[in-house]
Amino acid sequence: MKLAVQVNEGPYQHQASDSAYMFTKAALEKGHEVFRVFFYHDGVNNGTRMTTPPQDDRHVVNRWVELAEKYDLDLVICVAAAQRRGIVDEGEAERNGKDGTNIADKFRISGLGQLIEAAIQCDRTVVFGD
């Protein structure tokens, strides 16, 4: 089965991010294709490289990065939601006069068209969070 995953909640304030990660990992391990993981609303906070949880806590951002490296996942952050929450890549930093970036490796910023494309291309779109 070809799946799209949408994550609408941040990594530490809601169970949705952990559930999305576990679902995506299990689907990939069972041989399903995950076409894209789209981070929307507060879910864009899953893609900041500035996250530094305590050593005894899970590192949600690193888990997504490791999964993306292992399975060549497309991790897309919504540009409008990212701008509202201060998630910046090189292109957005240049366009908006910012002096640095904070997007994690393996994540990229793009528009809602990426979510629509994923929904069209996939058998199912699974949404985590409100």
From CA 83, how far away is CA 60, in angstroms rounded?
21
Please, is 99 exposed, middle or buried when counting C-beta atoms within 10 Å of its C-beta (0-12, 13-18, 19+)?
A: exposed
Active site residue 78: yes
pLDDT (tens digit, 9 = 90+) per residue, 118-127?
Answer: 999 999 999 9
Q: Does domain 2-128 match CATH 3.40.1260.10?
A: yes
pLDDT averaged per 10 residues in sequence order, the chain, 130 residues: 98 95 98 98 97 94 98 98 96 93 97 98 97
pLDDT (tens digit, 9 = 90+) per residue, 42-57?
Answer: 999 999 999 999 999 9
124 Cα distance to chain centroid: 17
Catalytic residue, candidates 78, 81, 104, 109: 78
Tokens coding 15: 């169970």
